[in-house]
Amino acid sequence: GRRGLESLPKLAVDIGIRQLDLRALKKYKRHFGLKTGPTSSNKEDLQTAVIRHFAHTLRAEEGKTERSFIRLVTNQRPA
């Protein structure tokens, strides 16, 4: 929920992630195999999961993760 987002580290990509539509967030979740609860299909929960994953992975593999995320978002096709 909202509290989860407030406790996340502030990243430059936060704004971009928050602007993604639900379909793009679900695509990111599938692509990276994120584990979320069974009721975590709302946009806010997915944003939290994506931001956490991105922050964690960025620390581990900065360049590779950025390129993967940019490719994922760039390849997003309109509905």
pLDDT at 73: 85
Token pair 């360049």 in the structure block, residue: 63
pLDDT at 2: 47
- Mind listing the pLDDT tens digit for each residue in 52-68? 888 777 676 666 777 78
Give the Cα separation of 79 and 76 in Å (integer): 9
Q: What is the mean pLDDT of residues 12-41?
A: 82
pTM given for the model: 0.58
Specify whether the CB–CB gap between 37 and 48 falls below 8 A: no
Give the Cα separation of 25 and 17 in Å (integer): 8
